[in-house]
Amino acid sequence: MLIKSVNGKSPAIPEDCYVAENATIVGDVTFGSNCSVWFNAVIRGDVNFIKIGNKVNIQDGAIIHCTYKKHPTVIGNNVSIGHNAIVHGCMVHDNVLIGMGAIVMDNCVIESNSIVAAGAVITQNTVVGAGSIWAGIPAKKVKDIDQSDFAGEIERISNNYVMYSNWFKEEE
């Protein structure tokens, strides 16, 4: 793993987090407990800060960045960020699933208990309302989460990633 200080700021990663050997975490990045950062993920807190809550999984190839002098990135608790997603200069509240290959752009807010579908592009300054599913390019609301089968998925995926990370920690 590449963990590097930038401009005197170093990542703060609790002992109970799992970071894959080829993940990159640089600069002003802080994690809560029970997080996992998977293969080839990049979390770059070089131009602003990144704050990540508890039980967050950042899956393979995902990129978390921020915007110089404008937008930090703040991620709440119990969040899954899917493979190859990009989360940039935005706020993601608790209990959110960002699908594989989704892009969340600057100054967006993803409210609690919501899903950004795989491949969706949440354009700059968009607010994704609590309890909704957004999909498409540009993304639009497609349904309320309580009408769907996805209500338990966010918690299930988050819990699974804690379990998966334990498998890898046992091998170290």
Q: Is the pLDDT of residue 102 over 80?
A: yes
Q: Whole domain around residue 119: which residue ranges?
A: 2-171
pLDDT score, position 172: 67
DSSP, residue by residue, 104-167: E-TT-EE-SS-EE-TT-EE-TT-EE-TTEEEETTTTEEEEEGGGSTTTTHHHHHHHHHHHHHHH
Question: Mean pLDDT, the chain, as a whole number?
Answer: 95
pLDDT score, position 168: 92
Tell me what percent of the residues of the chain surpass a pLDDT of 70: 97
pTM for the full predicted model = 0.95
Which one-letter DSSP state was computed for residue 13? -
Report the CATH number at residue 110: 2.160.10.10
Mean pLDDT of 56-73: 97
Give 41-62 pLDDT, tens digit per residue. 999 999 999 999 999 999 999 9
Q: What's the number of domains the chain is made of?
A: 1
